[in-house]
Amino acid sequence: MRTLRAMRSRIRAAKNIQQITRAMKLVSAARLRRAQDRVLAARPYAQRMDEIMRELGHAGDLPDHPLLQRREVRHVGFVIITSDRGLCGAYNMNLIRALQTAIREQNLTQEQVCLVCVGKRGYQFFAKRGYTIALYRPMPTAGAGLEDARAVTSAISELFQTEQVDRVYLVYAHFVNPVTQRPTVQQVLPIEPPVGDEDGTREFIFEPPAEELLERLLPRYLLTQVLQALLEASASEHGARMTAMSMASDNAGKMIQELTLVMNRLRQAAITKEIAEVVGGAEALKG
151 binds other proteins (CB under 8 A): no
Q: Which of 14, 10, 21 is nearest to 249 (CA)?
A: 21
Residue ranges in 221-280 that form contacts with other proteins under rule CB under 8 A = 224, 227
Q: Say whether 114 is catalytic.
A: no
Tell me, by CB under 8 A, how many residues bind other proteins: 24
Q: Which of 216, 265, 267, 273 touches other proteins by CB under 8 A?
A: 216
Is 128 within 8 Å of 98 (Cβ atoms)? no
Among 4, 6, 52, 270, binds other proteins (CB under 8 A): 52
Please give the Cα distance from 219 to 149 (Å, whole number). 12
Selected binder of other proteins within 41, 179, 269, 275 (CB under 8 A): 41
Comparison of 48 and 273: residue with beta carbon closer to other proteins:
48
Question: What are the CA-CA distances from residue 7 to residues 78, 135, 253 (Å)?
Answer: 50, 49, 15
| 150 lines the binding site for other proteins (CB under 8 A) | no
> Which residue in the list 49, 56, 80, 88 is annotated as catalytic?
88
Radius of gyration of the chain from Cα atoms?
Answer: 28
CA distance 264 to 272: 12
Q: How far is the CB of 224 from other proteins (least distance, A)?
A: 7
- Residue 63 in contact with other proteins, rule: CB under 8 A: no
How many angstroms separate the CA atoms of 258 and 272, rounded?
A: 21
Which of the ranges 7-15, 63-71, 160-168, 204-212 carries the binding residues for other proteins, by CB under 8 A? 204-212
Q: Which segment (70-78, 184-192, 213-221, 275-283) binds other proteins by CB under 8 A?
A: 213-221
SS (H, E, C) 67-136: HHCCCCCCCEEEEEECCCCCCCCCHHHHHHHHHHHHHHHCCCCHHHEEEEEECHHHHHHHHHCCCEEEEE
Q: How far apart are CA 136 and CA 56, in angstroms?
A: 33
Which residues of this protein are in contact with other proteins, per CB under 8 A? Answer: 41-42, 44-45, 48-49, 51-52, 55-56, 59, 202-208, 213, 216-217, 220, 224, 227
Q: Which residues are catalytic?
A: 88
